[in-house]
Structures are given as C-alpha cells and as structure tokens.
Structure 1
Amino acid sequence: MKVKEYLGQAYRLDQRINSDIEELGKLREMSSSISSPTWEERVQTSRNTDAPFVRSVFKIMELEDKINAEIDNLVELKKQIRTVIDEVANTDERMVLRYRYIHNLTWEQIGDELHADRTTVYRWHNSAINHVTMPENPIKI
C-alpha cells in the first residue's frame, strides 16, 4: 500500500459512514410512516404475525451496529495516521498532512489556513509524502 492510499483511507471511511447515516435516517423515516393498504386479493399460506415496522426496526439496529463498528475503525485509523504524521519533521509539511488527511480540508482551505498559495501547498504535500514512514502494521479499510 502506498502512502497516499493509506492516508486517504480515513476520508473514504468517513464518506461511507456519512452515507450509512443518511441511509439510517431514511430507514427511520420509513419505519415511522404508515403504509397504504392493498386492495388486491392476497393468498398467503403462512401468516406473518409481526407488526409491519418490526423488519424496519431490525434493519435499523443492524445498520446502527455497522455504523458504530465503522466509527470505531475510523477512530483507530485516524489515531494511527496522527502518529505517522507527527513523525514528519517539517512543521509545514506536517500541517498540510494533518489538514488534508485528518480534517479533510480542500487544497484551497489548506492554503488559507497556512497562508500559502496552492502550488506551495502542493510542494509541501509532495515533500511530506516522501518523508512519511509507513507503520509496520497499517490499518487497511
């Protein structure tokens, strides 16, 4: 695994968590809505005695467990990434990596924070990537 791939995992995992949270909101909305009655004839050999919202509640619980596990992974990954970034000697390079991979800022936002233009931020970033030492057991998402 290359350095950029390793550092970029936190952003992707964060996006996946946000997507799951959005899906959870939709499931909660669906579970509390009233379904319309069907007027067509249904033949059913075995009757389901559970209330209609029970399946939705189980799906919500499963998704909440998945989100909690992903959040735990994200916390551990960011902790490891912070340790890796803190080993970079140059302060500007370290701050570019921190803003980019911990705080998920855009290049323009990083430039504003560090009072530097985009090319300087790119230069610091490329130099920082060369100075990063990968951990022995990197977390892979």
Structure 2
Amino acid sequence: MEIRIKKYLGNYYRCKKKKEQLEERHRHIRTDIDSPLGGRAYKEIPSANTQHKSDGSASLLLRLSEIEDRIEKEKNRMAQRLLEIMDVLDYLQEESDERMILELRHIDCYEWKDIVKEMHLSRTSCNTYYNKAIAKLLEYKRVRVLIEAEEMNVA
C-alpha cells in the first residue's frame, strides 16, 4: 500500500512534467513556424525517408493548436491533482515536519537534496519523517479509499 500512496502523491509531479514537455514541444513548433523560408536544407532528390507528406505551415499551425489544447487540459489536471493531494495531506498535523516534507516533495516537487537543505535535517531524518507520514496517512480509511478509487480510474 505504501507504493500505491507514493504513486498517488506523485500524480501532480507527473502532470507538471507532462505540461513542461508539451510546452517545450510548443516552443519547437513555434520556432519552426517563425523561422525564415529557406532556413532548412534543400534537397533536389527526394529521399526514401519521406514517408508522409507535410502540409507545410498549415500542418504546423494545426499541430500548434492541438498542443495548446493539450497544455490547457494538463493545467486543469494539475490543478485537480494538486487539490487531491492537499486534501490527503490535510490528514497530517499542519506544522509537523512530516507534512512539511511531503509538501516539499509532492507539491513543491523538490528533490531530496533540496528537502534536506530546506529542513536542515539529514537525509536519514528526512526519510524517517517521510515514511512516518506515509504510514500515518495509511491509517485513515478515506485515504485508502481515494488511492483505490484512483487505481480503478486508471485501469
């Protein structure tokens, strides 16, 4: 069950990374659209790798629009995931080290080395608080139900 709750808490991070990936793709396409004509190498003889025809700028604009839609959907998913995680973390005492470490890890998306610096604790102490928080959350039936419902939605 511990692995399942960690995966559940990691949903926001995965949405955030997906959004960043889409934004990077958007930037690349935008660069292609904005680049001057003749900016690409010209080949007189078509190569064998031309498996599909491109519709030029129209195709790029359509692709750009699709990516913008996906970015918007991912932002909405991120907001939903963030609220879900915050609801789960509300089961922990507000000013506790356990909650702070989970917030830094799963909401602020800090790496462990940054959590250690922020908390002024050793890595071992941070892991101890983290595991203690996970165990505490799993004591609540509502948390277990949320995790199970999430797994059923994914499947």
Both proteins in one fold, TM over 0.5 = yes
Partner of 2:63: 59
Q: Are residue 77 (structure 1) and residue 120 (structure 2) matched?
A: no
- Pairwise CA RMSD of aligned residues? 2.5
Bigger mean CA offset, 83-92 vs 119-128: 83-92
Give the alignment partner of residue 32 of structure 2, picking from 17, 30, 33: 30
Partner of 1:124: 129
Contact 1:92 1:124 in 2 (8 A): yes
Partner of 1:110: 115
Per the alignment, in what secondary structure is the counterpart of residue 104 of structure 1? coil
Contact 1:32 1:53 in 2 (8 A): no
CA deviation map 1:71-120 (0-9, x unaligned): 10011101110111121137110001000000011112112211211110
Give the alignment partner of residue 14 of structure 1, picking from 13, 16, 34: 16
1:40 offset after TM fit, Å? 5.3
Q: Which has the higher helix share?
A: 2
Per the alignment, in what secondary structure is the counterpart of residue 129 of structure 1? helix
Gaps of 5+ in 2: 47-54
1:32 offset after TM fit, Å? 1.8
Contact 1:17 1:71 in 2 (8 A): yes
What is the rounded CA distance, in whole Å, between the counterparts of 1:138 and 1:131 in structure 2? 19
Percent of aligned pairs with the same amino acid: 26
What is the rounded CA distance, in whole Å, between the counterparts of 2:100 and 2:115 in structure 1? 9
Q: Name the TM-score, length of structure 2 as normaliser.
A: 0.76
What is the rounded CA distance, in whole Å, between the counterparts of 1:61 and 1:55 in structure 2? 10
